[in-house]
Structures are given as C-alpha cells and as structure tokens.
C-alpha cells in the first residue's frame, strides 16, 4: 500500500503524446514483476493512475512504463524529467499466460497503447523461444508516427517472432499494411486449434479479433485480454474497478475471454 520513491533515469518520446520512462527505486532494490502486471504510478500532487509495466522482466533493476498523456495524472507523469522522483505502488494484477502457453502457438494482438503491456510477454517468450511453436505479433496503430517500439520489430523477427504491422491511415511514404488489425489475421494463417491468444487495446478491437478467432475454431478459454477500468486503491478494497463480479485490480487486468465476455456489454460509469 505504501508508495515507494522511484527516480526517473531516462525518458524517451515515442509519439506526440506517448513517453517511455525508465525508473529505478531510490534504494536500488530490484522490482520483480510478471508480464501483464501494472503499478499505481504518480507524479507529485497529480493523482495516482494504473500503468502497465512495459519493461523486460529479466531486468528487474529497471522499471519501465510507457504512458499516453490523456489527462491530469498522465500529463504530469509524462512531464517528469530525469532526476525527478515518481511514486510507485505494486506490482498489481494478474499476468499473461506465458508459462501455461508452453508448447502452443502464441498470438499477440495489440492496438495502439496496447503494445507496451504486451512487450514484457513478447520479451519473455523470446527468452524461452524454443518452448513455443509459432509466435505471431499483430500490431495496429492509427498512423505510422503513432506506432510504438518500432526500433524493436526487426530484432523480434531475428529471434523467430513473426511481426505484422498495420495502420488505419498513412501517407505515400508508408509501404506497409493499411487497415484494421483484424485484417492481419488472414495474413498470419493461424492454426487456431493450437493457439493461445493475448490481446490488449481498445475493447472494440479485442471484441472483433476474438470473434474472428472463435469463428475459426479457437477455444474462448485460450484467449486472454487485458481490461481497463478506473482504479483508486489497486488492491481490491475500494470497488472502483468492478467488472461484473470481479475487481480488475485484483482479478485482472488480464482475464480469459470466457470470464469477461458477458460483462463487456455493460458500460463503465
């Protein structure tokens, strides 16, 4: 529950409103986490918000967060400069099924700011590449200049990951795919019977991707999605993040599709 002070060591601007911050505990303690977990992160006086960890689980000395500035708290976090101190609680939540997917083909589908929460899973899968069948990453963004971690796709490909990228719209200099991320499913030619899926992005994207996969015969209990709800305590006490009978901070943010499908129709208040 007690926030710990973390120093901003480095900062990178990824797109016009997204920044990646590398943080280290002031005491130097490592920050162990599971891919898919999040922290409650705050800049002084600006409120605390849930942010997924986007760093490498094999490098616990460095806590990495990738944040889109959308409001008071996230703007203050993104404005923090190297040397400044942010407060961190966590890690919280469940993780992606990286261990239980061993032996299976793995499909990662991300939209926009949904890639950072999946990056620790991608890095963990790569670290144990020989334990999985195909590893396929499908990533969609609004425009080329809003794609995240673009400098890593080739390295992922060299490690045996199939990476497909698309944008909603692009100018003449973009030579890649144009269209929604579900279009990439056809290109990937997946064997849905052997597949474990992990998806993070807008709910509408996760809904269409999952519907397409289920149509092709994928089992709903092998599809995992990350849910976003407003949070305050992060530890299952306040009830702010309720999703049906579950609390996203405690029982999620990663859920099996079969657990949350019926609650997605209910809008957050």
Ligand X SMILES: Cc1cc2nc3c(=O)[nH]c(=O)nc-3n(C[C@H](O)[C@H](O)[C@H](O)COP(=O)(O)OP(=O)(O)OC[C@H]3O[C@@H](n4cnc5c(N)ncnc54)[C@H](O)[C@@H]3O)c2cc1C
Residue choice 104, 123, 137, 231 for contact with ligand X (CB under 6 A): 231
Q: How far apart are CA 123 and CA 56, in angstroms?
A: 6
- The per-residue b/e assignment along 56-74, b for 16 or more CB within 10 angstroms, e otherwise, is bbeeeeebbbbbbbeeebb
- Interaction between residue 165 and ligand X (CB under 6 A): no
Residue choice 228, 251, 259, 261 for contact with ligand X (CB under 6 A): 228
Q: How far apart are CA 48 and CA 151, in angstroms?
A: 30
Q: How far apart are CA 74 and CA 66, in angstroms?
A: 10
- Which residues, numbered 205-234, are part of the site for ligand FES (CB under 6 A)? 231-234
Q: Cβ 172 to ligand X, closest distance in Å?
A: 29
* Closer of 184 and 243 to ligand FES (Cβ): 243
| Of 48-56, 82-90, 216-224, 261-269: span binding ligand X (CB under 6 A) | 48-56
- Which residues, numbered 106-125, are part of the site for ligand X (CB under 6 A)? 113, 116-117
What residue has token string 């991300």?
110
Q: What are the structure tokens assigned to 194, written together? A: 């052997």
What residue has token string 């918000």?
49
Q: Which residues bind ligand FES (CB under 6 A)?
A: 231-234, 236-241, 247, 249
Q: Which residues bind ligand X (CB under 6 A)?
A: 38, 47, 49-52, 66-68, 70-74, 113, 116-117, 228-229, 231, 253
């Amino acid at each position: 529950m007690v926030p710990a002070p973390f120093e901003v060591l480095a900062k990178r601007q990824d797109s016009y409103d997204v920044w990646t911050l590398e943080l280290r505990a002031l005491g130097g303690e490592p920050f162990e986490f599971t891919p898919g977990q999040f922290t409650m992160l705050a800049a002084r006086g600006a409120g605390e918000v849930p942010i997924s960890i986007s760093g490498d689980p094999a490098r616990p000395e460095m806590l990495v967060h990738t944040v889109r500035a959308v409001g008071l708290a996230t703007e203050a976090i993104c404005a923090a400069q190297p040397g400044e101190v942010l407060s961190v609680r966590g890690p919280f939540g469940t993780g992606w099924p990286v261990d239980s997917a061993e032996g299976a083909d793995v499909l990662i589908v991300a939209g926009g700011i949904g890639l950072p929460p999946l990056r620790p899973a991608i890095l963990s899968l790569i670290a144990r590449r020989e334990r999985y069948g195909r590893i396929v990453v499908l990533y969609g963004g609004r425009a080329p200049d809003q794609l995240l971690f673009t400098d890593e796709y080739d390295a992922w490909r060299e490690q045996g990951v199939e990476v497909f990228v698309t944008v909603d719209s692009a100018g003449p200099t973009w030579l890649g795919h144009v269209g929604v991320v579900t279009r990439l499913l056809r290109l990937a030619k997946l064997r849905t019977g052997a597949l474990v899926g992990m998806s993070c992005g807008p709910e509408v994207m996760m809904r269409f991707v999952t519907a397409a996969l289920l149509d092709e015969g994928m089992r709903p209990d092998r599809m995992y999605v990350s849910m976003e709800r407003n949070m305050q305590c992060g530890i299952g006490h306040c009830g702010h993040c309720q999703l049906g009978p579950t609390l996203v901070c405690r029982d999620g943010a990663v859920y099996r599709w079969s657990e949350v499908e019926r609650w997605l129709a209910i809008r957050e208040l």
